[in-house]
Amino acid sequence: MSSFISNIISNIAGIDWQGPAVFAIIALAVLALFQKWRLVLLTLLTVVLGWGAEDMLLMNNATNQKIVSVSLLVYTAGGVCVIVLALMEFMKTSAKK
């Protein structure tokens, strides 16, 4: 568990504020401005879990070969959830008008 948390802390400390992380932070700030808290929290949860799981791998026991990294699975599942939730929020707000 300590390695999981140390991965998260090292990634937070190593954010390059000149790179693409700024776009994600601005997008989260805009979502927070419009009070889309479910999207903000789900996105943050996906990023934190992906950072924590970046050293974990799924291996095939028979051949001992790497199948896929766990962080890829976390980012994929979280991204799909965020997109579905964003579409649901969009449909909900467009139906009200």
- 40-86 pLDDT tens trace: 888 888 888 887 777 776 666 677 777 777 888 888 898 898 889 88
How many domains does one find in the chain? 1
CA distance 52 to 49: 5
Q: What would the two tokens of residue 38 be?
A: 């479910």
Q: What would the two tokens of residue 72 be?
A: 């890829």
Q: Which amino acid is at 21?
A: A
What's the domain range around 82?
2-96
Section 83-90 average pLDDT: 87
Report the candidate in 51, 43, 39, 45 with the shortest Cα–Cα distance to residue 4. Answer: 51
Contact 69, 54 (CB under 8 A): yes
Q: Read off the pTM.
A: 0.66
**Above pLDDT 70, what percent of the chain?**
91
- The whole-angstrom distance between residue 2's C-alpha and the CA centroid of its chain comes to 20
